[in-house]
Amino acid sequence: MKGFVFDLDGVITDTAKYHYIAWKQLAAEIGITIDEAFNEQLKGISRQDSLARILAQDDKLDVYSDLELNRMAEKKNQHYVALLETLAPEDVLPGVREFLENAHEVGIPCAIASASKNAPYILDKLQISDYFSGIVDPTTLTKGKPDPEIFIKAAELINLKPEEVVGFEDAQAGIDGIKDCGMYAVGIGAAEQLKGADRVVNDFSELTIEELLCL
């Protein structure tokens, strides 16, 4: 393998709790209750798709105009970004910084494939931006995960073919997208929740650059 592509939330840092707080508040404002179990469905998918799933839960998907939906999604994002103010370098997940440092030392290009439009801001807060050669702009995508488009674009950003890249994901939608474009899929988390992954680990401390380059 010649390059690495990373999802962001749940792989490099855990901002899921901030997403949950922001979505829960927005849902409550329109009379919908969501819990942490429901929030698991929103991992790895876009802001608009997340909002659609929340509204569908209470048969409100056709109640709002496109303008209202956009305003709701932006309101959620503003709350989420405000919560991100507390994010700091120590919020990088175990083993990630060391893994990125090693990849950088041996010249392995890395890219971000995240549905989050806040990825550049988050990487800056974590002080790891310099480790990445590219970040896929989710506004350029025609389809969200599990479609493989975002992973194909990420490989293009580091001038590699998907089959030359290892993809890291913590959500089933992401694993599906990685496999569908021919990448080697490493799941971060519980194996039973990441079906189809080529390998599943608890965190990056269980991985070495050398073993992945030999795949």
Catalytic residue positions, numbered: 7, 9
Q: Classify burial at 193, counting beta carbons within 10 Å of its beta carbon; exposed 0-12, middle 13-18, buried 19 or more.
A: middle
Furthest-apart CA atoms within the chain: distance in Å: 53
Please work out, in degrees rounded to the nearest 5, the angle formed at the alpha carbon of residue 211 by the alpha carbons of 207 and 215. 120
Burial of 84 (0-12, 13-18, 19+ CB in 10 A): middle
Which residues pair with residue 200 across a beta bridge?
187
Determine the Cα–Cα distance for residues 205 and 185; give it in Å rounded to an integer: 17
Mapped to the 3 state alphabet, what secondary structure does 108-154 carry? CCEEECCCCCCHHHHHHHHCCHHHCCEECCHHHCCCCCCCCHHHHHH
> What's the rounded Cα separation, in Å, for the pair 40 and 171?
9
Cβ-based neighbours of 190, under 8 Å, separated by 6 or more: 200
Quickly list DSSP for 14-52. --HHHHHHHHHHHHHHTT----HHHHGGGTTS-HHHHHH
